[in-house]
Amino acid sequence: MARILSQEEFESIMSGRSTNGDRYIIIESVPLTVFSEERNTHPKLLNSQYNEGFYYRIGEICASVTAITPKELIKGALLYPRKNQGAIPPNVYIDKVVDTNDKKLFYQAHIEPDTLNFFTIKPNNHLKQTIKAYYHTFYKGFKVRVNPDYINVLKNQPSRYTNDILEQASFELKRVLSTNLPTIKERLNCNTLTIVLAPRAKANQEEWYQQLRKTVSDWCDEHVNEGFENGCNYIIRHTDTPTTHLGEKGVIYPGIIKETCNVSSEIEGKNILFIDDIYTYGVNIDEDSLQTIMDNKPKTLTFYSVAKTLKKEE
């Protein structure tokens, strides 16, 4: 019987610090829709040899979580359509997996990369209220397999990359935005959603330094007829600040955005979607930005990050 991973081991795998190697091999993958249709012809699924854990795949990595058993997963596959007017999420797949150590088969669920995940940003010294938030995928580390490295390409100096690489990175980011942002707008049920982008740490506004901003801004302009307003210049840095990913403690203080950025008064009364490339719990630059926006009286405020780091403190 396969060993159940601890929460710490699972988080280590999720963050890309370790992997399970080739122990678990996916030999078949079918959409949940197909799985549900064929459930009556596979009664043995209900007697899985792996009833002690629910297996979840991140990229090509398999991990085990004890929260849901395969039997409960299958029951959920049966009940989900009844609770959602017959709809089955198209991005959920059921995999048949072989354990090369135990020579046994089991089933797992996985979500395809084009997903939208919900979380909440809680109040702290920088933020006075809870903010509803979404993210697309986990950030596992630069050059770690299945990491969204197109973010890094757009944030690094363009001279390090060919035009083809930059264009591909821009394409990948736009593809993710096109997958997630219309869904968020639909959930918010608003006619116009204004996109406000997190400022970079330095005041440099030259195009070579603002490749990520340019990509998001271009996406907004390309989708203006779908109810997206370009507010990417609503928060502009005028004074350099420390680079947050370096982990310097105490450099992000309450009010740093107001002190180092110009903030547009056009925020007032609008449905704002504040976007950052990566959200990391405890850094607080996004929390400070969100409070600054709230102080400018938007109609609604929601947060979205392309990627989110996994931290136990949350």
Higher pLDDT, 303 or 203: 303
CB atoms near residue 201 (< 10 Å): 17
Q: How far apart are CA 53 and CA 226, in angstroms?
A: 43
| Per-residue pLDDT tens digits for 284-298 | 999 999 999 999 999
- What average pLDDT does the chain have? 74
Q: How far apart are CA 204 and CA 114, in angstroms?
A: 32
Q: How far apart are CA 7 and CA 38, in angstroms?
A: 33
Q: Could you tell me if 281 and 314 are in contact, meaning their C-beta atoms sit under 8 angstroms apart? A: yes
- Tell whether the model's pLDDT for residue 237 goes beyond 80: yes
| Per-residue pLDDT tens digits for 202-215 | 898 887 789 999 99
Distinct helix (H) and strand (E) counts, the chain: 8, 13
Report in angstroms the alpha-carbon separations of 23 from 26, 60, 82, 307.
10, 11, 36, 27
Name the amino acid, one letter, at 207: E
- Tell whether the model's pLDDT for residue 153 goes beyond 60: yes
pLDDT category of residue 239 using cuts at 50, 70 and 90: very high
CB atoms near residue 27 (< 10 Å): 9
- Tell whether the model's pLDDT for residue 125 goes beyond 80: yes
Q: How far apart are CA 14 and CA 153, in angstroms?
A: 22
| Per-residue pLDDT tens digits for 74-98 | 444 444 444 445 455 555 566 666 6
pLDDT category of residue 277 using cuts at 50, 70 and 90: very high
Length of the chain: 314
Q: Could you tell me if 166 and 154 are in contact, meaning their C-beta atoms sit under 8 angstroms apart? A: yes
- Which tokens in the block code for residue 179? 């997958």
Listed in sequence order, the DSSP H helices in the chain are: 7-14, 32-37, 70-83, 150-155, 163-188, 211-222, 256-260, 285-295
Q: If you write DSSP's letter for every residue of 74-97 in order, what string do you get?
A: HHHHHHHHHHTTT---TTEEEEEE
What is the mean pLDDT of the segment spanning 264-284?
Answer: 96
pLDDT category of residue 235 using cuts at 50, 70 and 90: very high
For residue 249, the model assigns a pLDDT of: 52
- Tell whether the model's pLDDT for residue 154 goes beyond 60: yes
Report in angstroms the alpha-carbon separations of 126 from 148, 201, 246, 248, 249.
28, 17, 20, 17, 15
With tokens 């928060």, the residue in question is 235
What is the mean pLDDT of the segment spanning 132-143?
Answer: 85
Report in angstroms the alpha-carbon separations of 40 from 43, 46, 179, 252, 286.
6, 10, 33, 56, 48
pLDDT category of residue 304 using cuts at 50, 70 and 90: very high
Q: Is the dihedral of CA 230, 190, 124, 264 positive or negative?
A: positive
For residue 263, the model assigns a pLDDT of: 98
For residue 48, the model assigns a pLDDT of: 35
Q: Could you tell me if 202 and 240 are in contact, meaning their C-beta atoms sit under 8 angstroms apart? A: yes
With tokens 């004890």, the residue in question is 66
For residue 86, the model assigns a pLDDT of: 47
Domains of the chain by start residue, with CATH: 7-111 (no CATH), 117-308 (3.40.50)
Higher pLDDT, 17 or 32: 32
What is the mean pLDDT of the segment spanning 4-33?
Answer: 52
For residue 143, the model assigns a pLDDT of: 76
